[in-house]
Structure 1
Amino acid sequence: MHRKITYSILSAIILMMCYSCNSDSKDEFEKVNESEEWSLQFSDSCTGNWQDNWFLDGLIATVENSDKGMNLIAGPEHKNNAHHAVLWTKQSFNGDVKIEYEYTRTDTQLINVNILYIQAQGIGKGVYDKDISKWNKLREVPTMSIYYNYMDPIHISYAAFPMTNDDPTADYIRVRKYPVKEGIAFDDMAVEPSYYKMGLFLPNVPYKVTVVKANSKLYMQVVGDGKNELFTWDMSDKAPSIEGRIGLRHMFTRSASYRDFKVSVK
Structure 2
Amino acid sequence: MLNAGLVFVLALFLQSVKSQDEKAFNMVNRSLYWKLKLNDPCTKNWEKNWFKDGLIAKVEQSDSGMNFIAGPKNRNDAHHGVLWSKESYKGDIKLEYYYTRTDSAVVNVNILYIQAQGIGTGPYDKDISKWNKLREVPEMGIYYNYMNPLHISLAAFPMVNEDPQNDYIRVRKYPISEGRKFSETEIPETAFKTGLFLPNVTYKITVIKTKTNLYFKIVGNKQSKLFSWKLKEGQSPEEGRIGLRHMFTRSARYKDFKIYTK
Equivalent residue of 2:5, what SS? helix
- The corresponding residue for 2:27 is 31
- What is the 5 A alignment of 1:83-122? 83-122=79-118
Native 8 Å contact 2:170 2:186 kept in 1: yes
User: Aligned pairs, how many?
Assistant: 262
Write the deviation string for residues 128-178 of structure 1: whole angstroms up to 9, x where unpaired.
000000000000000000000000000000000000100011000000000
Shift of 1:182: 1.3
Distance 1:254 1:39 in 2: 32
Write the deviation string for residues 191-242 of structure 1: whole angstroms up to 9, x where unpaired.
0000000010000000000000014100000000000000000112444301
Structure 1 residue 216 corresponds to structure 2 residue 216? no
Equivalent residue of 1:113, what SS? strand
RMSD value, Cα: 1.1
Moved segments of 4+, more than 4 Å = none
Equivalent residue of 2:108, what SS? coil
Distance 1:57 1:213 in 2: 24
Q: What TM-score, normalized by structure 1, do the two folds share? A: 0.97
Distance 2:234 2:162 in 1: 34
Structure 1 residue 138 corresponds to structure 2 residue 139? no
Larger radius of gyration: 1
- What is the 5 A alignment of 1:172-187? 172-187=168-183
Native 8 Å contact 1:205 1:225 kept in 2: yes
Write the deviation string for residues 97-137 of structure 1: whole angstroms up to 9, x where unpaired.
00110000000000000000000000000100000000000
Distance 1:166 1:87 in 2: 28
Native 8 Å contact 1:177 1:238 kept in 2: no
Q: Aligned match of 1:164 in 160, 163, 171?
A: 160
Equivalent residue of 1:137, what SS? helix
- The corresponding residue for 1:40 is 36
Letter in 2 for 1:158: L
Ranges in structure 2 where 5+ consecutive residues have no aligned partner: none
Letter in 2 for 1:150: Y
Equivalent residue of 1:204, what SS? coil
Distance 1:177 1:8 in 2: 38
Distance 1:249 1:215 in 2: 24
Shift of 1:188: 2.6
Structure 1 residue 198 corresponds to structure 2 residue 194? yes
Letter in 1 for 2:107: I
Q: Aligned match of 1:228 in 218, 224, 227?
A: 224
Q: Aligned match of 2:149 in 149, 153, 168?
A: 153
Structure 1 residue 250 corresponds to structure 2 residue 246? yes
Letter in 2 for 1:88: W
Q: What TM-score, normalized by structure 2, do the two folds share? A: 0.98
